[in-house]
Amino acid sequence: MLDISRKVAFVAGAGSVGEGWGNGRATAVLLARQGARVFGTDISADALAGTTAAMDKEGHRHWVGRTCNMTSSEQVESAVHECLERFGRIDILVNNIGGSAPGDPVSMPEEVWDAQMDLNLKTAFLGCKHVLPVMERQFESHGTGGTIVNVSSIAHMSHQMGGRVTVAYAAAKAGLGAFSRATAIAYVKKGIRVNTVVVGTMHTPLVENRLAKQLGADVDALVAKRNASIPMGRMGDAWDVAHAVLFLASDEARYITATQLVVDGGATAAR
């Protein structure tokens, strides 16, 4: 089940903010555990180094980590070229780039809005822009195209916990869902599936290393509040996200495209 041993995965955002398991790191390692050869990018060399250490510890030899700013078309194109030189093909693309900045339309500076659109939406566009032709050629020559999983957030589906307003983040993630669906239908006849994992409230290193500082909150109190906000009584973690990505990337999901898989412990339904 969920065997991807003949696959090559390109994971954008394969590092982690701080020590531990972020969504990208867990996804990259899980795909490697299932047999994939994994090429991972991150803007932070330190974040990638942590993923490399995790890969080395588990003995995954078919891993390449490369620093790359996924908002730069030239850098994305270069990374895709390097992946092809190393592994020969790309079967799975995971676009896992994002981050939220607080603000409403009045309080948010225009440059922050633009940066949020680039970080949360343009990165997926550029990943697809440079990988889709690769998958299309694979379909034309071998009859197997590929699959793309874009990682989004429930921020565009319900209000944020504690009334935190992140208007650009919510708008960009809503756009990502529409982008995924439109791209899926555009390439459905070319052997390429495109889906979205919509992530809820998770306990990853982001909570301690970024969110608590942004909110000026006590970490333990913030974690308790986030756990209490979920119908299941606890936050999910990076492995919940990684397993959802793995399923949508696998052949077991071969009849699924243009859809969203919400991984949120029931949060959006309850709100």
Nearest by Cα to 149 from 237, 61, 243 = 243
169 belongs to the catalytic site = yes
Q: How far is CA 178 from CA 172, 196, 216, 250, 254, in A?
A: 10, 10, 34, 22, 20
Residue 152 contacts residue 177 (beta carbons within 8 Å): yes
Residue 13 contacts residue 70 (beta carbons within 8 Å): yes
For residue 205, the cross-strand partners are none
Nearest by Cα to 33 from 178, 242, 259 = 242
Q: Of these residues, 21, 87, 125, 169, which one is catalytic?
A: 169
125-164 b/e with 16+ CB inside 10 Å = b? bbbbebbbebbbebbeeeebbbbbbbbbbbbbbeebbeee
Residue 11 contacts residue 83 (beta carbons within 8 Å): no
Residue 194 contacts residue 180 (beta carbons within 8 Å): yes
Q: Which amino acid is located at 79 in the chain?
A: A
Query: CA 270 to CA 263: how far, in whole Å?
Result: 13
Which residues, including other chains, have CB under 8 Å from residue 127's CB and lie 6 or more apart?
A: 10, 12, 70, 76, 93, 95, 148
Residue 116 contacts residue 145 (beta carbons within 8 Å): no
Q: Catalytic residue positions?
A: 169
